[in-house]
Chain A
Amino acid sequence: MPLSAEAVQAIRLTLQLATATTLLLLLLATPLAWWLASTRSRWRSPVSALVTLPLVLPPTVLGFYLLVLMGPDGAVGRLTTALGWGTLNFTFTGLLIGSLVFSLPFAVQPIQHAFEAIGPRPMEVAATLRARPLDAFFSVALPLARPGLLTAAILSFAHTVGEFGVVLMIGGNIPGQTRVVSMQIYGHVEAGEFTQAHVLSAGMVVLTFGVLLALALMKRRAGRVIP
């Protein structure tokens, strides 16, 4: 059966959210992972625990706190209101922020592990070959950490596609704004529309499987080039 206009809209929104989350996470997580992998600061452990938190907490807890923070009386909410943006709950931006927090450990950990596996030696070698630290980071550390970056991107994407609890709390269910595929399926099931729920659910399974398969294949290929 053809997909309804609503379903297509939900799929498009989901892909938009996952793409934006992945790109932003790579930008945020890479420097954070580098810091965690190389610092000797006493803040390392607390920060590391904080970054891992979303991995362990129920998404509803995370969503609840985000809801409170971004609400009219929350710190973030007051700031955004003062800036003239209104509150972010039940908007795409709010959802994006939630997704970033929710998927942060999935981006940071693979990149951090990749940096740790590289060790300090290649950066030292680069310095003896006249590379400034920033130059060495981009020309040596990042290329060597490519498998980790790839894993981070794919996990962030897949994890965002699969998120539900956070969306439920802060996204609401506004078509074209915050109604992603997982919410759409939930809605179908609530309404007893099992056929539509089946189609979307099967699509999710196929998409997720495809992503994870691609990841496994790419890792195997990378393993051949870089032992």
Chain B
Amino acid sequence: MSAPAVDDPHHRVRLQVTREGFALDVDLALPARGITVLFGASGSGKTTVLRCVAGLERARQGLVQIGHEVWQDEARGIFLPTWRRPLGYVFQEASLFEHLDVQANLQFGLKRTRTPGAAQALSAAIALLGIEKLLARQPAQLSGGERQRVAIARALTTQPRLLLLDEPLAALDAARKQEVLPWLERLRDELHTPMLYVTHSADELVRLADHVVLLEEGRVVGAGPTGQVLSSPSHPVLQGEDVGAVLAAHIAERDSRWHLCRAEFDGGSLWLRDSGLPVGQAVRLRVLARDVSLLTYAPHDTSIQNHMPCTIEQVAPDQHPSQLLVSCRVGGSVLLVRVTARALHSLGLRAGHAAWLQLKSVALLR
């Protein structure tokens, strides 16, 4: 990803919404590129944030500043209507215009955008989402996954400065979800448009997020780069079996004899099944807390390939009283380990101690 180095100030979203039985009060500084995932349970206010950023709803107290442009500033009485905000919006359910075919759906926004290079934007969006063969179809003839791909491409034709996605996969079944996810990953890797992505799915969070904003009952309870937010043991974002760290890595080496590849992350590297990715390819590694164990010595004579020294940073209670979540620093990265309280006690390990990690399984994500 070769992002142009421009002086792009962070996006700022400050909103206060009060409705019956619901209060939203958030102040977000969003990075200028990559996918920022707004994560939280339903009713936490994720979608309201997105709708306010788009101007579909108006927060009584609000500031929405995207780069140098102010879209809303109630203190100065500024509120741009949605149609004047250079944004793209992908709704949860298929929102294609049923009276237009795919081509006309794509051209709807294009015709109303007066920016140079609009025609290229259209063909780029069509290629990026792989929908060349669908152009002559009616929306009713598309599968759920195809509809969402067209909807995403349509949102891109207006060359938005910010792409908003409101649970774009939530209405799809598991198989369709897996069909659309790679396209979203591709979007993240190839597009320079920042994206604000609302979801309550751990899978989407782990696979797509560069940054995470955690919402709980209308308030921000955590925000930061994905690796950092996910590896915080005291406030685990994901629940139960999903607890684990996500590491940014790249393929450093391939071993054709054993069909393995070495993925290097900040602080170490791991041997994984070679899935054919070229050396240099950026990947993310998901290491679930339940798949890591702690040792007080360097392991040898074990079938487990991946182990490394670490420093214990923090010990926090887990959901069940018998278990603990331990965060362990490895160079610039942090991994989470789920252990029983008794094991940790008998090993005599505490925060600040040096130890060894043994990783039973690691998932490689694009």
A residues contacting B by CB (< 8 A) are 121-122, 124-133, 135-136, 139-140, 143-144, 146, 225-227
Q: Per a CB cutoff under 8 Å, which of B93, B95, B98 touches A226?
A: B98
Flag if A143 contacts B99 (CB, 8 Å): yes
Flag if A132 contacts B83 (CB, 8 Å): yes
CB distance from B20 to the nearest CB of A (A): 15
Q: Per a CB cutoff under 8 Å, which of B56, B84, B88, B113 touches A124?
A: B56
If A143-B99, A227-B140 touch, whether A127 touches B112 (CB-CB below 8 Å) is no
If A121-B91, A135-B112, A227-B140 touch, whether A127 touches B99 (CB-CB below 8 Å) is no
The answer, yes or no, to whether B158 is at the interface (CB within 8 Å) is yes
The answer, yes or no, to whether B87 is at the interface (CB within 8 Å) is yes
CB-nearest residue of chain A relative to B100?
Answer: A143
* Residues on the A chain within 8 Å of B108, using CB: 126, 129, 131, 139
If A128-B88, A227-B140 touch, whether A122 touches B81 (CB-CB below 8 Å) is no
CA distance A146 to B154 in the complex (A): 24
Interface centre among B81, B82, B84, B91 (most CB of A within 10 A): B82
* Residues on the B chain within 8 Å of A128, using CB: 54, 56, 82-83, 87-89, 155
* Residues on the B chain within 8 Å of A131, using CB: 83, 108, 112
Flag if A130 contacts B99 (CB, 8 Å): no
CA distance A109 to B83 in the complex (A): 30
CB distance from B156 to the nearest CB of A (A): 11
Q: Per a CB cutoff under 8 Å, which of A130, A143, A146 touches B109?
A: A130
Interface size on B, residues (CB 8 A): 25
Q: Per a CB cutoff under 8 Å, which of A127, A139, A226 touches B81?
A: A127
CB-nearest residue of chain A relative to B154?
Answer: A129
CA distance A197 to B28 in the complex (A): 78
CB-nearest residue of chain A relative to B93?
Answer: A121
CA distance A128 to B158 in the complex (A): 9
Flag if A125 contacts B95 (CB, 8 Å): yes
CA distance A140 to B99 in the complex (A): 8
CB distance from B54 to the nearest CB of A (A): 6
The answer, yes or no, to whether B97 is at the interface (CB within 8 Å) is yes
CB distance from A123 to the nearest CB of B (A): 10
* Residues on the B chain within 8 Å of A122, using CB: 95, 97
* Residues on the A chain within 8 Å of B138, using CB: 225
Flag if B112 contacts A226 (CB, 8 Å): no
* Residues on the B chain within 8 Å of A125, using CB: 89, 91, 95, 97
* Residues on the B chain within 8 Å of A127, using CB: 55-56, 81-83
CA distance A129 to B109 in the complex (A): 5
CA distance A129 to B83 in the complex (A): 7
CB-nearest residue of chain B relative to A132?
Answer: B83
Flag if B88 contacts A144 (CB, 8 Å): no
Residues 49-97 (chain B) with a chain A CB within 8 angstroms: 54-56, 81-84, 87-89, 91, 93, 95, 97
- B167-202 vs A, Cβ < 8 Å mask (1 yes, 0 no): 000000000000000000000000000000000000
CB distance from B155 to the nearest CB of A (A): 7
Residues 99-117 (chain B) with a chain A CB within 8 angstroms: 99, 108-109, 112-113
Flag if B99 contacts A226 (CB, 8 Å): yes
CB-nearest residue of chain A relative to B160?
Answer: A128
CB distance from B265 to the nearest CB of A (A): 38
CA distance A220 to B84 in the complex (A): 39
CB distance from B161 to the nearest CB of A (A): 13
Q: Per a CB cutoff under 8 Å, which of A121, A124, A139, A225 touches B82?
A: A124
CA distance A227 to B98 in the complex (A): 9
A-B pairs with beta carbons under 8 Å apart, 25 shown: A121-B93, A122-B95, A122-B97, A124-B56, A124-B82, A124-B91, A126-B83, A126-B108, A128-B54, A128-B88, A128-B155, A129-B108, A129-B112, A129-B158, A130-B83, A130-B84, A130-B109, A131-B108, A132-B83, A135-B112, A140-B97, A144-B97, A146-B99, A225-B138, A227-B140
CA distance A124 to B90 in the complex (A): 11
CB-nearest residue of chain B relative to A135?
Answer: B112
* Residues on the A chain within 8 Å of B98, using CB: 144, 226-227
* Residues on the B chain within 8 Å of A130, using CB: 83-84, 109, 112-113, 158
Flag if A144 contacts B91 (CB, 8 Å): no
CA distance A151 to B89 in the complex (A): 33
CB distance from B58 to the nearest CB of A (A): 13
Interface centre among A127, A129, A130, A139 (most CB of B within 10 A): A129
| Top 7 A-B pairs, shortest CB-CB distance | A129-B109, A130-B112, A128-B89, A127-B82, A143-B99, A127-B83, A125-B95
A-B contact sample (16 more), CB < 8 A, given A126-B108, A226-B140? A121-B95, A125-B97, A127-B56, A127-B81, A127-B82, A127-B83, A128-B56, A128-B87, A128-B88, A129-B108, A129-B112, A133-B83, A140-B97, A143-B99, A144-B99, A227-B98
CB-nearest residue of chain A relative to B88?
Answer: A128
CA distance A140 to B112 in the complex (A): 14
CA distance A128 to B108 in the complex (A): 11
CA distance A131 to B56 in the complex (A): 13
* Residues on the B chain within 8 Å of A226, using CB: 98-99, 140
* Residues on the A chain within 8 Å of B87, using CB: 128
CB distance from B36 to the nearest CB of A (A): 18
CB distance from B98 to the nearest CB of A (A): 5
CB distance from A214 to the nearest CB of B (A): 21
CB distance from A173 to the nearest CB of B (A): 46
CA distance A132 to B84 in the complex (A): 8
CB distance from B5 to the nearest CB of A (A): 29
CA distance A146 to B99 in the complex (A): 10
